[in-house]
Amino acid sequence: MNYLIRLVSVCLLLLISACDKNDLEPETITMRVAEQYKDCTGVGPQKCLWVKMEDNPTWTLHYSGIEGFAYEEGFEYTLTVKRERVENPPMDGSSIRYILVKVVEKTKK
């Protein structure tokens, strides 16, 4: 009986530790936004922001918007944004939401 209780306890601990809670935790990151939109294709042809995130050194297309950010072409931006997971995203939507915290720099290009 004692052996069974220990075995069940170990199994429960393994299950609990396997749950990664950090993937739902919001984080604040720095993002650079280029001075022009780029052509991209989502559901159809559209214009995307061209961004570089602090954790990725390459420029990438950013399909979803940044809540609270009013982009103006011709300016390069350095932003502080909060990146958080969307719990139940729509089938055709992003599973990550970006929310503007602060415009750190806005430079005319």
Structure tokens at 82: 């909060």
> What pLDDT does residue 11 have?
46
Strand bridging mode 45-53 / 27-33: antiparallel
**94 or 19, greater pLDDT:** 94
Whether this prediction's pTM lies above 0.85 is answered by no
Hey, which residues does 60 pair with through a beta bridge?
51
Summarize pLDDT for 49-74 with one digit per residue, the tens.
Answer: 999 999 888 999 999 899 999 999 99
Q: Kindly state the average pLDDT of the residues 23-28.
A: 80
**Nearest-CA neighbor of 30 among 88, 83, 97?**
83
Residue 14 CB: number of other CB atoms within 10 A? Answer: 9
User: Residue 77 pLDDT more than 70?
Assistant: yes
Torsion on CA atoms 39, 42, 43, 48, rounded to nearest 10: -50
**Nearest-CA neighbor of 30 among 109, 94, 104, 106?**
104
User: Taking all residues of the chain, what is their mean pLDDT, rounded to a whole number?
Assistant: 83
